[in-house]
Structures are given as C-alpha cells and as structure tokens.
C-alpha cells in the first residue's frame, strides 16, 4: 500500500536528520511552553511537526490537481498527482493509444514532471492496484497515529535529537531536561553568594533548588521552573557547589563542608594502575575475579540482582567505606554528578546512615561507626538492596550469634615485614574463610603501607613477602588466590587482575589446583 513517507521506517531511520527548521521549532517550543522539557516531549513534538508538514505538503500538491488512477481518462493540460512517486505532480502533455495481450487496449499519457516526461497508463481496467489505493477519499495523513508512530520510531529520533542538541551551545541539559540558554534569567555573582550563605545556614546542605531560590530575589516571570533550571545551571558551573541528590532528584551541598574523605580519596583506596597481561588469566581465574567483584576490576556491566552480597575488604574496613563495584552500582539510583548522597538503612535496627558515593574513587563513604558497632570482619558478608523510598538503600550483614573463630592476624616485625598467625576471635557475622584477615596493630600496618607506597614495591615482591607467612598457616604450605588478594590489600591497593596475572606469569608461583598456589623461593 502507498504510504506517506512519515509512516515508513526508512524515513525515521537512516534518512532522518535534524534540520535547521527542526531546531528553530524546538526553540519556539521552549518559548511557548516557558519551561524545561524532557527529551521524550521534544521528540514527540518533532515527529508531530514532520507529520503535519508532510500533510500540508500533500494537501498543497493535491489542491487543484487530479489524483492519478489508471482507470480514469485524462485531457492534455490537466495536472495530476502521483502518490507512488512521493506525491510528485505534473501536466499531461500528450495522449496516444496503447495495448498489450494482458490488459487489452488503453491510453498512454505523457506527463511532464520536473521538466522531464514520463508515460503512464490511462483508461485501464478497474482491477489495477492503483485504482484501489489512489481513491479520491483516501487521506494518508489522517491515518497517522502519533502515539503509535512515536512508540515505533521515537528511540532513533530521540537519539539523533540528543546528539544534535548536545552540539548546540544554545541548548543546555540538566537532570534529563532541556531548555534554551537565551531564555534563562540571569544568575549573577551576587545570587551565587546568597546561595552559598543559605547552604551554610543549613550545615552545607543538602537543599533542593526550590528551597534556595526564594532567598535570591529573582524575577522569574511566569515560570518558577525556568528559575530553578537557571539556578541549577549556575550552581553546576561553580565548583563551590555539589549536586548530590540520587537519580531523579536535585539537591545541593557546599563542597567545603562535605566530609574530608569525600573531598579527597583516602590513601588506602587510591589505585595506581598496574599494567598486566589480561590474556594470562584462565576462564577459571576470570570467574574468580568476577566473584570478588573488586571495584577496580575490568568487568563488564553487571545485571541488576537483588540483594547484592559482597565481602568486606581491608581497605574499605579501614576507611569506613563500601566498594562502588559493578554489582553495587547496578542497584544504586545514581545520577550523572561525581558525588552523591544516599540514605542507607540498617535492616536490623532501622538506623539511618548517610552514604557518600564518590564515583571517581569508586567508593561509598560513611560506614566507619557501623563497622565498629557490629565488629564486622574483613571477609564478612554485607548485603545491599533498594529501599521502598526513592534514594534509600537497605543495608545489612550476615548476622549470627558471636562465636570464637580462627582468624589470620597480621602484625609487623622489627624488620618492617608483615607477619601472620592464627588466633581466635569472637565473630558475629558470616564470612568467607578464605578472605578473613585482621590485625590488632592497625597503626603499624598503615605505616608499612605508606613505606611500601613510597618505594613503589612491585606485586611480585609483595607476594614473595606474604607467601611464606601465609603458607606457614597451612600444613600443605599452600595459599588460596583469594587469601593472597585479601592480604596483599593490607599493603597495597591491588585488584585481582594484576595479582592473578603475576601468579601465572612468575615461575616462583606454582598452581596446585582449585586456585591454591605454592611458592618456590629458589625460582624468585
């Protein structure tokens, strides 16, 4: 069936590009609405305009002209419209006799279209397809359902609109909404100083833009939404302010009043990239890497699973943080800003904890007291899942009655070398026996960590120090890869990839099965 072009996949697919006329119409839409708009609304507007334009063009071409049908007869000088040729139109300039065995006798008309002539059949039998399609009562534009059209082709159109608007300085995007820069009220230095003072009165924040705006004495005209948008844009461009709300919300905080470990990544969490050959990792080691789900591992995006269960590592236990790993990120309502403030709720007690997400450092700060209160061990299981309220996360651990368990405890000897021994400790949390380590000498371990950082000691050298100590705790003199991962992170921030690669690469480390390794000091 002959269709308007705006009903075809080709029109909205490879053929579709945003024109200057589309951009002007989008600008006029902002001018008319006087409010920021979501991309979905802009997309539907562009589609509806294109449909209306085609309808108007079809009506213009049909006006005073005859819709071509092969069954009809025509006279020289008549103007015809051809829907099958994208509604091209032309004038009949000649008529002659025509025949063929299938259709019998008929007329052949010559029509001049765009200064070129083409021939068409006339006075042909009524059963021809074009006689049925090109009926006088047929109105292509009336058949178009905008909702269905937007649902079918909107995603592609939306992507192209997004890419085009991003390149236009005139248009700005905040929290998923767009507006024209020239239509925003002016936010000057004085307004920003007032916003700073307001946030200081509220201990730095967080405050929604709606609660800051009334203090600024701005002339907003008819739309407070435009004022909110303008203030959001100005605050975003001033590095004294941080937008810290979860996805779908906007709230501001003074950067200088954020916790120190949010403003600056704690030294134990800083990862200096370690080059390694990822091709050395076997499928089994890659699975183990994914199981550990270190935030610095090179893992594909993780499908959302609830609840998320992970083990606490030494760096995060020491810093009072949680890892922003692939599994954890998948369930958090994260927006686009670099730091965000979420509320965590202890499922056991109902206690509310403010957690600061620091994307660049890949951690969530704010859990030091919670760790200490529950005596959570390195290797302990922690669970996270979305709460009922937007922006809240339920936090828990594998609670159990305290019982005495053997734990690897680290200390530092007189030669500044790490030592391990087995000792019993009360543990009230489920844990991974291969990962559990601890220490009663945190200050000494921290001093050793800094000394190793200053020397930039290699992974292989650290393994050579750790291995004999850990192996002595096992009658078989073997150490599991997970235990090495947990222990080495007491001394240097090392994700599983570089560690496993070194185990495979260096001849001193000998695999004995099930991710257990032995150390041959003669090969080191």
The answer to whether residues 243 and 369 belong to one domain is no
Look at the chain and report how many structural domains it folds into: 5
The kind and range of the H/E element at 513 are strand 509-513
The answer to whether residues 423 and 481 belong to one domain is yes
Q: Order of strands, edge to edge, in the sheet holding 116-122?
A: 66-67, 79-82, 88-100, 104-113, 116-122
In-domain check, residue 331: yes
The answer to whether residues 387 and 318 belong to one domain is yes
pLDDT value, residue 3: 61
Helices and strands, number each (H, E), in the chain: 17, 23
List per-residue pLDDT tens for the chain, 524 residues long. 456 778 888 888 888 899 999 999 999 999 998 899 999 999 999 999 998 888 887 777 777 788 888 888 999 998 898 877 877 889 988 999 988 877 778 889 999 998 899 999 888 876 665 565 554 444 554 567 888 889 888 899 999 999 999 998 899 998 889 999 998 888 999 999 999 999 999 999 999 999 999 998 877 666 678 889 999 999 999 999 999 999 888 999 999 999 999 999 999 999 999 999 999 999 999 999 999 999 999 888 766 678 999 999 999 999 999 999 999 999 999 988 999 999 999 999 999 999 999 999 999 999 999 999 999 999 999 999 999 888 899 999 999 999 999 999 999 998 999 999 999 999 999 999 999 999 999 999 999 999 999 988 999 999 999 999 999 999 999 999 999 999 999 999 999 999 999 999 999 999 999 999 999 988 88
Scan for tokens 């090495």, then name that residue: 484
**Cβ atoms within 10 A of the Cβ of 469, count?**
18
The answer to whether residues 198 and 233 belong to one domain is yes
Q: Say how far apart CA 448 and CA 83 lie, in whole Å.
A: 81
CA dist 481 → 47, 124, 300, 439 (Å): 57, 83, 22, 20
- CATH number for the domain including 357? 2.40.330.10
pLDDT value, residue 138: 47
Helices marked H in 146-236: 146-167, 189-201, 209-212, 224-236
Give strand ranges (E) for 361-398: 363-365, 381-386, 392-397
For β-strands 392-397 and 339-346, DSSP reports them as parallel
Q: Say how far apart CA 286 and CA 190 lie, in whole Å.
A: 55
For residue 522, what are its two tokens?
């003669």
pLDDT value, residue 225: 86
The answer to whether residues 231 and 166 belong to one domain is no
Q: Say how far apart CA 6 and CA 145 lie, in whole Å.
A: 11
Q: Say how far apart CA 262 and CA 204 lie, in whole Å.
A: 14
For residue 68, what are its two tokens?
């071509």
Instruction: Answer yes or no: are the C-beta atoms of 278 and 298 closer than 8 Å.
Output: yes
In-domain check, residue 138: no
In-domain check, residue 361: yes
Q: Where does a domain end: 223, 258, 293?
A: 258
- If DSSP codes are grouped into helix, strand and coil, which group holds residue 474? coil
Domain span including residue 169 = 5-61+143-174
Q: Determine the angle formed by the axes of helices 283-292 and 496-505, rounding to 10 degrees.
A: 150
Q: Where does a domain end: 400, 423, 439?
A: 400
Measure CA 140 to chain center.
40
Q: Say how far apart CA 39 and CA 178 lie, in whole Å.
A: 7
Q: Say how far apart CA 398 and CA 377 lie, in whole Å.
A: 11
CA dist 254 → 215, 251, 372, 522 (Å): 16, 11, 28, 57
- CATH number for the domain including 110? 2.30.30
The answer to whether residues 292 and 169 belong to one domain is no
In-domain check, residue 284: yes
The answer to whether residues 349 and 369 belong to one domain is yes
For residue 438, what are its two tokens?
């601890």
Q: What's phi and psi for 207, nearest 5 deg?
A: -130, 135
- Burial of residue 350 (number of CB atoms within 10 Å: 0-12, 13-18, 19+): exposed
Contacts of residue 395, Cβ cutoff 8 Å, sequence gap at least 6 = 344, 345, 346, 347, 353, 370, 382, 383, 384
Closest CA to 294 of 264, 262, 269: 269
Identify the sign of the CA torsion 178, 180, 186, 190: positive
The answer to whether residues 153 and 53 belong to one domain is yes
In-domain check, residue 267: no
Closest CA to 398 of 377, 379, 383: 383
pLDDT value, residue 141: 46
Q: Say how far apart CA 297 and CA 377 lie, in whole Å.
A: 22
Q: Say how far apart CA 161 and CA 176 lie, in whole Å.
A: 13
The answer to whether residues 278 and 351 belong to one domain is yes
The answer to whether residues 280 and 351 belong to one domain is yes
The answer to whether residues 167 and 28 belong to one domain is yes
In-domain check, residue 9: yes
Q: Say how far apart CA 321 and CA 269 lie, in whole Å.
A: 9
CA dist 131 → 230, 323, 395 (Å): 58, 69, 70
Closest CA to 310 of 319, 298, 321: 321
In-domain check, residue 179: no
- CATH number for the domain including 203? 1.10.10.10
The answer to whether residues 111 and 219 belong to one domain is no
Residue 380: DSSP 8-state: B
For residue 204, what are its two tokens?
């730095």
pLDDT value, residue 185: 87
Bond into 206 cis (ω within 30): yes
């Amino acid at each position: 069936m002959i269709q308007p072009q705006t009903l075809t996949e080709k029109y909205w697919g490879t053929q579709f590009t945003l024109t200057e006329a589309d951009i002007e119409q989008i600008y006029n839409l902002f001018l008319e609405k006087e409010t920021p708009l979501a991309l979905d609304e802009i997309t539907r507007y562009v589609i509806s305009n294109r449909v209306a334009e085609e309808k108007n063009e079809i009506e213009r071409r049909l006006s005073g002209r005859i819709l071509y049908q092969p069954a009809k007869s025509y006279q020289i000088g008549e103007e015809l419209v051809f829907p099958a040729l994208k509604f091209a139109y032309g004038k009949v300039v000649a008529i002659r006799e025509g025949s063929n065995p299938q259709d019998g006798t008929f007329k052949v008309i010559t029509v001049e279209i765009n200064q070129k002539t083409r021939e068409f059949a006339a006075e042909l039998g009524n059963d021809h397809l074009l006689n049925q399609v090109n009926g006088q009562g047929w109105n292509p534009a009336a058949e178009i359902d905008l909702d269905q059209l937007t649902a079918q082709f909107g995603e592609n159109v939306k992507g192209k609109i997004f890419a085009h608007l991003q390149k236009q300085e005139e248009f700005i995007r905040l929290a998923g909404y767009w507006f024209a820069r020239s239509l925003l009220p002016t936010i000057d230095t004085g307004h920003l100083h007032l916003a700073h003072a307001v946030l200081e009165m509220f201990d730095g924040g967080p405050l929604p833009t709606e609660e800051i705006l009334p203090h600024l004495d701005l002339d907003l005209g008819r739309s407070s939404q435009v004022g909110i948008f303008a203030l959001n844009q100005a605050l975003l461009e001033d590095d004294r302010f941080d937008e810290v709300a979860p996805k779908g919300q906007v709230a501001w905080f003074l950067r200088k009043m954020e916790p120190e470990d949010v403003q600056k990544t704690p030294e134990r969490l800083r990862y200096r990239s370690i080059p390694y050959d990822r091709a050395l990792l076997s499928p089994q080691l890659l699975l183990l890497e994914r199981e550990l789900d270190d935030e610095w591992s090179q893992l594909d995006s993780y499908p959302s699973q609830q609840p998320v269960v992970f083990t606490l590592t030494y760096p995060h236990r020491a810093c009072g943080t949680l890892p922003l790993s692939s599994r954890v990120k998948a369930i958090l309502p994260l927006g686009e800003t670099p730091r965000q403030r979420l509320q965590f709720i202890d499922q056991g007690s109902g206690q509310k904890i403010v957690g600061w997400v620091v994307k660049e450092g890949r951690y969530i700060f704010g859990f030091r007291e919670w760790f200490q209160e529950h005596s959570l061990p390195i290797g302990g299981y922690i669970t996270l899942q979305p709460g009922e309220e937007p922006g809240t996360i339920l936090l828990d651990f594998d609670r159990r009655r305290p019982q005495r368990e053997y734990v690897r405890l680290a200390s530092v000897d007189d030669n500044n070398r790490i030592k391990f021994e087995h000792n019993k400790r009360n543990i009230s949390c489920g844990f991974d026996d291969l990962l559990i380590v601890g220490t009663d000498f945190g200050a000494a371990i921290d001093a050793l960590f800094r000394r190793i950082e200053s020397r930039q000691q290699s992974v292989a050298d650290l393994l050579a120090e750790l291995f004999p100590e850990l192996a002595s705790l096992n009658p078989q003199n073997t150490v599991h890869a997970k235990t090495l991962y947990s222990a080495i992170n007491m001394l240097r921030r090392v994700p599983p990839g570089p560690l496993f690669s070194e185990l495979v690469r260096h001849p001193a480390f000998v695999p004995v099965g099930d991710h257990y390794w032995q150390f041959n000091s003669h090969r080191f």
